Amino acid sequence: ADTSQGAPGDALEYSASAGGAAFLIGSENIIAKINRTMSFTTDTPDFWRREGQPYPSHGGRFTGEPAYFKHITSAAKMMMEEMGTTPEDYKFAVFHQPNGKFPTRVAAQLGFTPEQIEKGLLTPYIGNTYSGAVPLGLASVLDVANPGDRIFVTSYGSGAGSDAFDITVTDAIKDFKRSAAKTVAERMANTVEIDYAKYAVYKEKIVLPE
C-alpha cells in the first residue's frame, strides 16, 4: 500500500494516487504458487525526498530509461533466463505502472502482448498507487485467473530496484470463495468523483494560519 505525495502544480498531482492490496503467503491451501523470484538493483536515485521536505523530487525524463526501463527489463530477462521461459508461456503479465505508457512500452520491449497485460493494467483508471500498483494489478489478475495460468510479475522501486515473480495458479482457486469480497474491477466501478479543492483538503495541501 502507498499514498502518493506531489507538490501543488507538479505532474505527480495528475498521475499519482493511493491504494494497496494484501496477500496471505503460506504453504497450505494456496491458490497461486510463487515458483521463483529474481531481483535487480543499482544505485539510481531517480526519485527522492530531502529530510524535512514535505514533497518528493523526481528526475523527470531520468526516471525512464536509466531507471524504470533498465531495472524492469533486467529483472524480467533474468527471470525468463532462469526459468527457461518466454513471454508466450504466460497467460498474464503485470508490471509496475507509474502511468499507462511505461508498462505498455516495457511489455512490448520484452515480447508481451497487450492482451497479456490488459487485466492488470489499472493506472489509466486509478492513477499510480506507487508500491501498491503491482499488488493491485496482481489482485485484478487473480480475480479472473484459472488453474494452470502462469503469471509474470515485475515490480519497480526508485533508488532503484526491481523484483520479478513467476507465479502459477493452482487448482485450489476453483474452491476459493471469490464472492466473499468485491473484485478489483467492482471496486473501481464504485468510484466517487471529487474536485481539486476537496482533493487538496484531503491531502492537507491547504493549511490555514494559526
Which amino acid, 134? V
What is the sign, positive or negative, of the torsion defined by CA atoms of 133, 114, 40, 10? Answer: negative
The answer to whether 48 and 57 have CB atoms below 8 angstroms apart is: yes
* 29 burial type by CB count under 10 A (0-12 exposed, 13-18 middle, 19+ buried): exposed
Q: Any idea what the CATH number is for the domain that residue 114 is in?
A: 3.40.47.10
* Inside any domain, residue 79: yes
Q: Count structural domains, the chain.
A: 1
**pLDDT average, residue stretch 183-204:** 90
* Inside any domain, residue 13: no
At 150-177, the pLDDT tens digits run 999 999 988 889 999 999 999 999 999 9
Cα–Cα distance measured from residue 144 to residue 183, given in angstroms and rounded to the nearest whole number = 9
Q: Which three cell numbers stand for residue 82?
A: 532462469
* Inside any domain, residue 8: no
Cα–Cα distance measured from residue 81 to residue 100, given in angstroms and rounded to the nearest whole number = 27
Q: How confident is the model at residue 203 (pLDDT cuts 50, 70, 90)?
A: confident
At 22-46, the pLDDT tens digits run 999 999 999 999 999 999 999 988 7
- Give the list of residues 6+ apart from residue 192 with CB closer than 8 angstroms, or none: none
At 78-125, the pLDDT tens digits run 999 999 999 999 999 999 999 999 999 999 999 999 999 999 999 999
Cα distances from 44 to residues 38, 157, 209, in angstroms, run: 18, 10, 39
State the average pLDDT for the chain: 91
The answer to whether 130 and 15 have CB atoms below 8 angstroms apart is: no
Element holding 94 (H helix, E strand): strand 92-95
* Inside any domain, residue 3: no
* Inside any domain, residue 7: no
- Give the list of residues 6+ apart from residue 143 with CB closer than 8 angstroms, or none: 178, 183, 184, 185
* Inside any domain, residue 144: yes
Which amino acid, 93? A
* Inside any domain, residue 195: yes
The answer to whether 116 and 87 have CB atoms below 8 angstroms apart is: yes
* Inside any domain, residue 18: no
Owning domain of residue 179: 33-202
pLDDT of residue 62: 57
